A = this chain, B = another copy of it.
Amino acid sequence: MPTNPDWVKALKPSGRQGSQCLELERAKSNVDVDKLASHLFTDDALQRQANILNILTSDPVFDKSQNYFRGRNERIEASLARGKRLRQLEVKHKWSKEEFNCANELISEPTPYGLHASMFLVTLREQGTPEQHEKFLRKAENYEYVGCYAQTELGHGSNVRGLETTATWNPEDKTFTLHSPHLTASKWWIGSLGKAANHAVVMAQLILDGKNYGPHPFVVQIRDLKTHEPLENVHVGDIGPKFGYNTMDNGFLLLNRVKIPHINMLARFSSVDPNTSKYVRPSNPSLVYGTLTWVRSTIVLKSGSTLARGVTIAIRYCAVRRQFKDRDAPEEEERENQVLNYTMVQQRLLPLLAASYALHFTGRGMIELYDANQAAMNKKADVGKASEDSNTTPRSAGAEELNPGSDLLADLHSTSCALKAYASTTAGEGLEACRRACGGHGYSSFSGIGSWYADYLPTLTWEGDNYMLTQQVSRYLLKTARAVLKNSTKTGNFNAINSDNDTTALLKAYKRRADVGAAFDVIGDDSELVAAYAWRVAHLTFEAHRHRDIEKRSWNSLLVDFWRLSTAHAQYMVVKNFHQALESDSLKSSLSQETQTVLHALFRLYALHTLERESSEFFQSAACTIRQIQLARTNAVPALLEEIRPHAVRLVDAWKFSDWQLDSSLGRHDGGVYEDMFRRASEDNPLNNVVFDPYPDSNVLFKKDNRDDLRSKL
């Protein structure tokens, strides 16, 4: 639109300016933002981020100013251009994996190369033989082969064993025939498949001599390397617009008896002997659980920073925004109150601030545990040996049966399932709560929360649907309970449950104490607060055990109980990890006492606010009394909100999101909320380059249309 007239340019927001508001906020607290950031991310990571940000912001292809205005076609076109440039920059600057990931985080939207650079390469690398690496992986790493990982089908998501696509072995010419027998066999939701990929790793039921050996991975070329048109008998395309993630070309794929050579079955873990046509059974499948565990732990870690983006935006805006005078303020008070001063707003936002830290520390704890365990396992592992009694196949998620008892990896895997479900739900729903806490302006795209939220939501479904996962967690907890009940002489101790198998220990501790009763001092003692969470898990586990094993109730009738149990387990893990992080030497040595005190208040707020929300399970299990819960609600939580309030802005500053990354009017570091909203709406908005004809009698729609071709900007 024409630039704003001079009288508009001269206008300022009324009252105290946003920049002053945030300056005052930052002056009220001594939380050491830089040291805290360094503790959260390491100095190296922060320096890396600054370097990459510098490269990206100086390249016009990454200009974000039109992002919110573009429709899907323009967005994916821009995203393709960005994906290409990212790859060029990766080569040019010899970026490490961390640097490449950092660039993607700063851009904050997926590109059509997203699944190529992750799952396609990872699967080729992990499940291919050296010969297959030579044939497929090298070209994929050079982007000659652009690929994707095609598992989910139109009719099958969570249940991988139910996939319909078949791969039938033809002994006569030593090929596989890949086929989609039904419409529901169409691969669906596959990232990077719709438009970008020329190859796909296709998960298909392996059929040998009429017998089904379950889903296995096959490399299938789907498009011509030159024209990029689909090959014959391949029907492939984009699945259309979605609630979010619209810069990604999620695709569909149907195969009509497409033949591929023997070498295209990824054969590191299982294979077909080309001469005997016999199936060679998979070796040690637990390595694959390891990968899944790592992926889920990463989701937990990222859920913290994902939520923190929304919290950063909402807290900064609520510190700038004023609305109503305080009802109890003296008559002469002219100024309206900062929205962040209202207890109702604090109650909505500060527990989410606490959760963002809690999830970050939990994710970090998980990854440390995973790394330690992986190192120990690699010593013991006998990778080459085929385990004859196992029927399971690598990366076939339906096969996530776990070993009972004291297996540390099984314990870690179960915890990662529970935490993935809980953490991503918390982050997704928390982002929407942050958006609403911004009032009407939260609904504007310029808030920067809506699109971030919409893009994040698939995380609640992929890598294990959040409701489905709770069954796996409960299955593991039930098995552990059975083992404990069989062998109940050994004792456990709530304050020493960091030993090898956490779950076994907490169930034993409960059994030991069941006769003397619990009386945890949840308000006065942090260790007791953590112990109360463990107690609740044990109580719910033995209750589920009674329903299933003694009362013989059907699995289906217990699904709601299982979901509650898994959630309880996840909450215990979060509380425990947050508490451990606060007790760690690295934290104590790197942060000032005042900063530690504020983090401690965040821990207590997270734990007591959650306890209060889940109160009925806490007192039904007798982990604490109704009176304690009342006290948490009426005294402890309000006092913690008040204690944390002055530090809120600094606590979000420590996440170190750059303005460019947030791309939010409301969350600007300098508080220039209204100026930024106005500029984007008036000057950047292409709709203001047209003039409507508003009269219904006229079928002319636009009296004037001065819009540029949006694509000319790419």
Contact = CB atoms under 8 A, between A and B. Distances in A.
Interface stretch (A102-110, A296-304, A455-463, A524-532): A455-463
Given A83-B696, A228-B694, A347-B560, A159 B688 contact: no
B714 A701 contact: yes
A677 interface: yes
Contact of A71 (B11, B73, B154, B326): B73
What's the number of copies of this chain in the assembled complex?
Answer: 2
B559 A240 contact: no
Interface in A432-457: 432, 435-436, 439-440, 443-446, 450, 454, 457
B240 A703 contact: no
Please indicate which of the listed interface residues A186, A348, A458, A460 has the most CB atoms of chain B within 10 Å of its own CB.
A186
Given A243-B450, A678-B186, A13 B159 contact: no
Interface in A201-234: 227-229, 233
A228 B693 contact: yes
Contact of A237 (B1, B7, B336): B1
Interface string A15-28: 10000000000000
Given A327-B556, A678-B186, A701-B714, A465 B445 contact: no
A540 interface: no
Interface string A540-571: 00000000000000111111101100000000
A31 to B, nearest CB: 24
Nearest to A327: B555
Contacts of A465: 439
Contacts of A245: 443
A254 B235 CA distance: 54
A41 interface: no
B242 A11 contact: no
Contacts of A13: 154-155, 182-184
A665 to B, nearest CB: 10
A147 B288 CA distance: 63
19 contacts: A11-B182, A12-B183, A69-B241, A80-B701, A84-B699, A88-B697, A143-B697, A154-B678, A162-B324, A228-B691, A228-B694, A238-B681, A240-B444, A240-B685, A242-B444, A244-B443, A326-B555, A328-B556, A343-B556
A680 B707 CA distance: 29
Contact of A688 (B238, B563, B688): B238
A695 B254 CA distance: 24
A42 B693 CA distance: 39
A342 B559 contact: yes
A526 to B, nearest CB: 23
Interface string A148-164: 00001011111100101
A254 B8 CA distance: 8
A529 to B, nearest CB: 18
A66 to B, nearest CB: 11
A707 B630 CA distance: 63
Interface stretch (A399-407, A508-516, A613-621): A613-621
Interface string A316-346: 0000011110111000000010000111100
A630 B626 contact: no
Interface string A137-176: 0000001101000001011111100101000000000000
Contacts of A180: 11
B557 A343 contact: yes
A422 interface: no
Contacts of A562: 344
Given A182-B14, A183-B674, A440-B461, A68 B556 contact: no
B458 A443 contact: yes
Contacts of A517: none
A155 to B, nearest CB: 6
